[in-house]
């Protein structure tokens, strides 16, 4: 059980009318518009700045910035700037870089590094951001023990990096480990999960997923809301993000749950 109220984010890498998308997300009650960090999407800091300028309440963020692509000081500089320009509406999401992120680092002429090197760089990045923009909340995407330990010590929000086919039982097992690692910090942490599909047809690339898969939601808005309430009660997950292609389909659930 968690005391954190529900909030919802939309994840989008690009759109023909980017500022219009940001305004629509705000109007539908989403708390955040989140930008991935790949060479196939908009530059995350620039896109977040444009979205913040086009809205008044919507928070903007990265989901998630690959620390292999920028130095800690560069991230801290960009973060402090966007925090100031957005009126404190920026949230920094960080990750150690998934295997497919190595291609982007190579294209940028940067060393991707070993898992251990990237985790140390992530820690250095968090520390640099804390020194430059201490009020910016930091989300860390984490799955393995080393990342969970770092996130438990330094993040405000932990995005559980689990595959979409994971069941609630499998997610609960990952959270048992986080509970042990976080100690007294555990109940203050905001826990987040991303949905690859909600209120619409799942993308074909997902393949078949079982009825207990936590990466998607099916049913009516009321049924989806009940599922998320149950997951919050059992798992503590209160921050839910969804691909922006489901922005409209998921909006009735946001209306039912946001802030509760």
Token pair 């973060």: residue = 79
231-256 CB burial, b ≥16 within 10 A, e <16: bbeebbbbbbbbbbbbbebbbbbbeb
pTM: 0.95
For residue 259, with 0-12 CB atoms within 10 Å meaning exposed, 13-18 middle and 19 or more buried, which class applies?
Answer: exposed
Is pLDDT above 80 for 73? yes
Cβ–Cβ under 8 Å, residues 156 and 137: yes
Would residue 144 count as lying in a domain?
Answer: yes
Instruction: Report whether the peptide linkage leading into residue 52 is cis, meaning its omega lies within 30 degrees of zero.
Output: no
The DSSP output letter for 136 is S
Q: Write a three-state SS string for 188-220.
A: HCEEEEEECEECCCCCHHHCCCCCCCCCEECCC
Token pair 């942490």: residue = 189
Is pLDDT above 80 for 98? no
Would residue 215 count as lying in a domain?
Answer: yes
41 phi and psi angles, rounded to 5 deg: -120, 175
d(CA 103, CA 83): 29
Would residue 117 count as lying in a domain?
Answer: yes
d(CA 147, CA 160): 10
Would residue 2 count as lying in a domain?
Answer: no
Position 204 scores a pLDDT of 75
Would residue 160 count as lying in a domain?
Answer: yes
Concatenated DSSP letters for 94-119?
Answer: EE---GGGHHHHHHTT-----HHHHH
pLDDT in tens, 15-49: 999 999 999 999 999 999 999 999 999 999 999 99
pLDDT in tens, 191-219: 999 999 998 777 777 777 777 899 999 99
| CA 67 to each of CA 40, 53, 74, 138, 182: distance values in angstroms, whole numbers, following the listed order | 17, 25, 10, 13, 23
Would residue 1 count as lying in a domain?
Answer: no
Please, what is the average pLDDT of the chain? 94
Cβ–Cβ under 8 Å, residues 4 and 16: no
Domain tally, the chain: 1
Cβ–Cβ under 8 Å, residues 77 and 33: no
Position 247 scores a pLDDT of 96
Is pLDDT above 70 for 1? no
How many helices (H) and strands (E) would you count in the chain?
A: 9, 11
Q: Which domain holds residue 197?
A: 7-257
CATH of the domain at 135: 3.20.20.30
pLDDT in tens, 218-255: 999 999 999 999 999 999 999 999 999 999 999 999 99
Is pLDDT above 70 for 107? yes
Would residue 86 count as lying in a domain?
Answer: yes
Would residue 167 count as lying in a domain?
Answer: yes
For residue 41, the SS3 value is coil
């Amino acid at each position: 059980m968690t005391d954190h109220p529900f909030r919802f984010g939309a994840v989008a890498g690009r759109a023909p009318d980017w500022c219009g998308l940001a305004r629509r997300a705000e109007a539908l009650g989403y708390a955040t518009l989140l930008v991935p960090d790949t060479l196939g999407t908009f530059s995350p800091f620039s896109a977040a700045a444009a979205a913040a300028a086009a809205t008044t309440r919507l928070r903007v963020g990265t989901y998630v910035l690959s620390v292999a692509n920028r130095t800690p000081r560069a991230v801290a500089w960009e973060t402090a700037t966007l925090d100031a320009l957005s009126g404190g509406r920026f949230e920094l999401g960080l990750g150690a870089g998934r295997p497919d992120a190595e291609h982007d680092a190579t294209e940028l002429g940067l060393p991707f590094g070993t898992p251990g090197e990237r985790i140390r760089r992530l820690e250095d990045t968090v520390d640099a951001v804390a020194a430059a923009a201490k009020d910016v909340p930091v989300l860390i995407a984490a799955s393995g023990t080393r990342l969970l330990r770092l996130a438990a010590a330094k993040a405000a929000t932990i995005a559980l990096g689990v595959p979409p086919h994971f069941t609630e039982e499998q997610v609960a097992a990952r959270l048992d480990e986080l509970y042990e690692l976080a100690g007294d910090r555990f109940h203050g942490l905001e826990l987040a999960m991303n949905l690859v599909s909600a209120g619409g047809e799942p993308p074909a690339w997902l393949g078949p997923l079982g009825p207990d898969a936590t990466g998607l939601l099916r049913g009516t808005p009321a049924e989806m809301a009940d599922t998320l309430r149950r997951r919050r009660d059992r798992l503590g997950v209160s921050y839910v993000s969804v691909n922006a292609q489901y922005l409209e389909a998921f909006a009735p659930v946001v209306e039912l749950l946001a802030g509760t």
